[in-house]
A and B are shown apart, each in its own frame.
Chain A
């Protein structure tokens, strides 16, 4: 069980794909303008990651080492196509609003990175779990960024949830602040960069504070420097 606890810790915090590895920035920045889009993207990414990691792990003995990357890409592309067709069929509005970024999950470096770094070397269950946890770690950042940008950008939360979850979800939309005009900067990719930067800064500062609590920093004796340009 220890292995799974380690995987969880790595995927959610220590080695979070969105905050530490900084992989998959393209969907992270492009589709997080609302919480609904972020949620759709998160679910799609998690499904693809679990399936591709499991498949890669199952067939890892038969993959020739030299051509492993093209094979991984083909496996991932297969699952992405499935997810894309499913979303096209059951959540057409979301399909339209995610646009090109849905098929582009294929090129998301997190997925191929986990296939290469973990799934191609480990058994089925740990690999699938790794895909799930890494996907969730990425999805949490997507949701956080989507929520922050939606609140600051247009003052709502979960607007358009019905296109993802069906008509009952219309009541999920919360109007927090009433703006006359939306704050376009936050809705555009530059705003996502700035918001991500702040989230990174918060994560790093929490990290260093916790580490300082666990083990107090060792005082390093600094070498003395002599200044010769001042006459006292």
Chain B
């Protein structure tokens, strides 16, 4: 018998990076299913484009950096970055949108900082913000839920729109986006924001077709699906509860406050929680282990910052949704949060 004298930590987890990343990817399945159901198979095409590009970019950079390609690719982190970005871009966006975003995310936001574990900012969200700033038109052309759409779009149409920008019958993305009533439709949050600037009240805006159910047609189910996936992640212990709870809690608090003070110009908490990318952001984006805060107290603060920024930008900023901006801004605060939220080690007094 021998006694090991290795320094701490003595109790090691069993999961490796590859398993963790694969589990996160698996947990997005309900969300993907909901998106495909409401917005068509374009979502899948975008995801495939993004994942392929992410893998190729990662391999190319690793080759340049003279690192072992196959072991690093097997950690699935590039796959996850591609997947998350693919989920964020509009289903019928042209193919080069995904390619540019992913190349920027993997090459600049991740590998130039030193690869997985060294990046300051969430790669997928850096790619998303680059796209949103560079191509605002293409990035805000979200498709209409298939049930409200005027045109029946076949799979070959989707492929054709993504790769040639027109369908087989010559329609563009904007033509497809016409609803049964003949008007183009934006996302619920976008509509709400536009209507508020046009002088309508929240009540008048939410009386529209797309709010026929409780938080925007289709979007509430997408959010519930991501919530289910997130709860699965919590259950298998890939993420801790602190960040999602803090994000949702602070968003709920802010939106409730706004709604109670001035219900005519602030969306209801339900809309804020179950529309846009709230659940996706809270469970899958903000919980990125590399760029989020480390300690439990720090995670709570990090989440609260994201939720508050999310509400502020949604209501008073220039963009209808703000997961990417809120997460990136909160990423910047992480070094300070980590510095001040260091847990006291056992046996020492808290100072």
Contact = CB atoms under 8 A, between A and B. Distances in A.
Interface stretch (B51-59, B134-142, B276-284): B134-142
A229 B7 contact: yes
B2 A185 contact: no
Contact of B133 (A180, A181, A188): A188
B108 interface: yes
Interface string A213-232: 00000000000000011110
B134 A184 contact: yes
A185 B130 contact: yes
A229 B6 contact: yes
B198 interface: no
A231 B7 CA distance: 12
B4 A185 contact: no
Contacts of B7: 229
Contact of B5 (A185, A186, A194, A229): A229
A150 to B, nearest CB: 15
Q: Please report whether the interface of chain A is mostly helix, strand, loop or mixed according to DSSP.
A: loop
A183 interface: yes
Nearest to B100: A183
A198 to B, nearest CB: 9
B6 A194 contact: no
B126 to A, nearest CB: 11
Nearest to B131: A185
B137 A230 contact: no
A230 B7 CA distance: 10
Contacts of B137: 181
Interface in A162-203: 180-181, 183-186, 188, 194
Interface of B: 2, 4-7, 100, 108, 130, 133-138, 165
23 contacts: A180-B165, A181-B135, A181-B137, A181-B138, A183-B100, A183-B134, A183-B135, A184-B133, A184-B135, A184-B136, A185-B130, A185-B134, A186-B134, A188-B133, A194-B108, A228-B5, A229-B5, A229-B6, A229-B7, A230-B6, A231-B2, A231-B4, A231-B5
Interface of A: 180-181, 183-186, 188, 194, 228-231
